[in-house]
Amino acid sequence: MEVIKLNIERDFDKFLDLSAGVYVLLTGYLISARDQAHKRLVEDIKNNRNINFEIKNSFIYYMGPTPSKENQVIGSAGPTTSSRMDRFAPFLYDMGVRATIGKGKRSIEVVEAIKKNNGLYLITIGGAGAFLSKKIKESKVIMYEDLGPEAIRLLYVEDFPVIVAIDSKGDSIW
Amino acid sequence: MFFYFFIMSKYIDKYFLKEKIKEEICRIATELPQDIKDYFNNILGRTSGLSKKVIEILIENYKIAESERIPLCQDTGIVLFFIEIGKDVYIDFNIEDVLNQSVKEAYIECHLRKSVVKDPINRVNTRDNTPAIFYYKFNSESKGLTIKIMLKGAGSENTAVFKMFTPTSSWEDIEDFIIDVVKNKAINSCPPVIVGIGIGGTAEKAMLMAKEALFRNIGERNKIEFYRDKEIELIEKLNELDIGPMGVGGYPTVIDVFIETYASHIASLSVAVNFNCHSVRHTIINF
């Protein structure tokens, strides 16, 4: 099986050429956000409020971790079901989000948004939160701290495993 | 009479119960049951490509989780207790208060995710994962107290399905329904999944049977020959759906299929399906 290693910043152009079904080890910054954070984020963007990260070209990871212990970067940190974010995703792809990372299928609207914006949908391994936590080297809450596990985090990952589930042409592994 | 009762009854110590349940919650959040570990290792040779990669990561995941006590999955669930009270059990305290205290201490001290909101619409987090959900059974045939614990994640709960069939429906109609549910829903429940199926009874009885069936060990078949055969047939048919681990295609889609049944009204035929993700977090404790 082919394994491709990519750095989000350095190899940015190569992401457009990835086809569905490819296994990639990602290095770079991700933004973690799930249900309630999406609801607030979309409202805040629409109301021109301050957003503490660059939305353009960002990679959003649908994840809410367990609390970290002392000497841990982050607790268990696997993906949550992406379809719950389908109602927010087309708007965010339109705003410049490059990729989303989660688990499970997406709606037709999301596939269309991915095609239109040259985006990507990546899946990672649900139920592998302990394994994936080892790939996260930095974690910092940057927005909505009051949401606890649902707060928005800036993560730095190294060799974080993902599978291209929907590529920029809208082709999928399904 | 009083003296007889005192000698013959099983007295449950409140503190011991609280500590034991807390310890078990922390343990099962980070430790996969042996039958699931064996399952992954046994099927690895039957997988290839992406599905093999996913199973390899799941094996590595349970090893890291257990050795470093990191939760297997970040969704450490809502806690369900199935409490079976034997004929000799004597409890002189509020068992729900004690078990909720175990949940609270386990989720805080063992760094598990607090995933419970107090109200389904207003959604304010209780910050200690309480309250748990409780079911009781009085068993006059057995002795002692048995507590089954399940940490149920939402990924595998949000896909639960219930359907009322007409009583003249055939097994084939039910089978088509189950295959359809797995085809459409299993992908969001972290496959390979365990399929719990409750048939008969009333609406809530069917769903409860589907849920409790998930406590069975892998390979543990229904005692009624008809349903045992149906379980085996379903495992085969569902594994041909090619959904695969985390939906990447290939083998396996389901780990096992457990059917439970109960008598029903002449006009009813209820069928419930409840999945368990591959990250099985449950145990059975006898006091």
pLDDT surpassing 60 at residue B2: no
Is the four-CA dihedral A87, A103, B188, B251 of positive or negative sign? positive
State how far the Cα of A65 lies from the Cα of A67, in Å rounded to an integer.
6
- Gap between the Cα atoms of B22 and B16, Å rounded: 10
The DSSP H or E segment spanning B8 is: helix B2-8
- Which of these, B203, B189, B113, B103, lies nearest to B147 by C-alpha position? B103
Residue A91 within any structural domain of the chain: yes
* Chain B nearest C-alpha distance from A62 (Å): 12
DSSP code at position B206: H
ipTM (interface pTM): 0.95
- pLDDT of the residue at B10: 86
Which of these is catalytic: A22, A27, A30, A38? A38
Domain assignment present for residue A174? The answer is no
Number of H-type helices and E-type strands within chain A: 4, 7
| CATH at A138 | 3.20.130.10
Q: Report the C-alpha gap between B71 and A78 in whole angstroms.
A: 10
pLDDT for the residue numbered A13: 87
**Average of pLDDT values for B180-192?**
97
Its sign, for the CA torsion B40, B112, B282, B143, is positive
Rounded CA gap, B89 and A66, in Å?
37
- Calculate what percentage of chain A has a pLDDT beyond 90: 95
Tens-place pLDDT, residues B235-261 = 999 999 999 999 999 999 999 999 999
Assess if residue A172 is contained within a domain: no
Q: Which of A63, A81, A82, A101 to mutate to test the interface with B (most CBs of B within 10 A)?
A: A81
Chain B interface includes A134 (CB < 8 A): yes
Residue B4 has pLDDT above 90, yes or no: no
Number of domains in chain A: 1
CB pairs under 8 A between A and B: 128
Residues of chain B found within 8 Å of residue A63, distances taken between Cβ atoms: 74
Out of B1-10, B131-140, B234-243, B249-258, least confident range: B1-10
Q: What residues of chain A, 2 to 61, have a C-beta less than 8 Å from chain B?
A: 21, 23, 36
Q: Is the pLDDT of residue B201 over 60?
A: yes
Instruction: Report the length, in residues, of chain A.
Output: 174
Residue A140 has pLDDT above 60, yes or no: yes
Given strand B133-139, what is the order of strands in its sheet?
B133-139, B78-86, B145-152, B282-286
Amino acid type, A161: P
Q: Is B115 in CB contact (< 8 Å) with chain A?
A: yes
- Does position B6 have pLDDT exceeding 80, yes or no? no
Q: How is residue B212 annotated by DSSP?
A: H
Look up tokens 């084939």; give the residue.
B172
User: 0.90 cut: is pTM over it?
Assistant: yes
Tell me if A126 and B190 make a contact (CB, 8 A cut-off): yes
Among B139, B148, B149, residue whose Cα is nearest residue B10: B139
Give dist(CA A83, CA B159) in Å, integer. Answer: 12
Share in percent of chain B as helix, strand, coil (round to 5): 45, 25, 35
A32 is catalytic: no
Q: Which residue has the higher pLDDT, B37 or B3?
A: B37
Q: Give kind and range of the element (H or E) at residue B178.
A: helix B171-185
Token pair for B6 = 């005192």
Q: Is residue A41 part of a domain?
A: yes
Split at pLDDT 50, 70, 90, the class of A47 is very high
Please judge whether A126 and B53 are an interchain contact, meaning their C-beta atoms are less than 8 angstroms apart: no
**pLDDT (average), residues B8-17:** 90
Contact: A23, B53; criterion CB under 8 Å: yes
Among chain A residues, the shortest Cα distance to B191 is held by A126
Interface contact B278, partner A, CB < 8 A: yes
Percent of chain B with pLDDT over 90: 95
Q: Please check whether residue A166 is in contact with residue A113, taking contact to mean a CB–CB distance below 8 angstroms.
A: no
- B120: tokens are 């389904």
Residue A120's pLDDT is what?
Answer: 97
Q: Indicate yes or no: CB of A1 within 8 angstroms of CB of B112.
A: no
Flag whether residue A133 sits within 8 Å of chain B, measured between CB atoms. yes
Residue A94 contacts residue A113 (beta carbons within 8 Å)? yes
Tokens of B77: 């669930």
On the question of pLDDT at A75 being above 80, the answer is: yes
Res A2: pLDDT: 85
Question: What single DSSP character describes residue A67?
Answer: P
Q: What is the mean pLDDT of chain B?
A: 96
Spatial contact of A77 and A129, defined as CB atoms under 8 Å apart: yes
Interface touch B111/A69, C-beta < 8 Å? yes
Q: Answer yes or no: is pLDDT of B61 > 70.
A: yes
**Mind listing the pLDDT tens digit for each residue in A118-133?**
999 999 999 999 999 9
How many Cβ atoms are within 10 Å of A143's Cβ, its own excluded?
A: 19
> Which of the pair, B8 or B234, is modelled with greater confidence?
B234
Q: Does B118 touch chain A (CB under 8 A)?
A: no
Q: Is the pLDDT of residue A142 over 80?
A: yes
The SS3 call for residue B164 is strand
**Minimal Cβ distance to B279: which of A1, A123, A127:** A127
pLDDT band at B9 (very low <50, low <70, confident <90, very high): confident
Are A149 and B111 in contact by the 8 Å Cβ rule? The answer is no
Q: Is A150 strand, coil or helix?
A: helix
pLDDT at residue B91 in the model? 93
Residue B49 in contact with partner chain A when CB distance is under 8 A: yes
Other beta carbons within 10 angstroms of residue B77's beta carbon come to 28
Omega into B252 within 30° of 0, i.e. cis?
yes
CA distance A12 to chain B (A): 24
CB–CB of A165/A12 below 8 Å? Answer: no
Specify if A124 maps to a domain.
yes
Distance CA A10, CA B241 (A): 39
- Parallel, antiparallel, or unpaired: how do β-strands B193-200 and B254-262 relate? parallel
pLDDT band at residue A12 under the 50/70/90 scheme: confident
Please list every residue in chain B whose beta carbon sits closer than 8 Å to the beta carbon of residue A69.
111
pLDDT reading at A150 higher than 60: yes
Residue A25 is part of which domain span?
3-166
Within-domain flag for A173: no
Nearest alpha carbon to residue B226 among B181, B200, B259: B259
Q: What mean pLDDT do residues A32-58 have? A: 96
**Residue B237 corresponds to which tokens in the numbers above?**
């048919």
Task: Mark A28-58 as b/e (b = at least 16 C-beta within 10 Å).
Answer: bbbbbbbbbbbbbbbeeeeeeeeeebeeeeb
Asked if the C-beta of A154 comes within 8 angstroms of chain B's C-beta atoms, the answer is no
Can you read off the two tokens belonging to residue A1?
């099986």
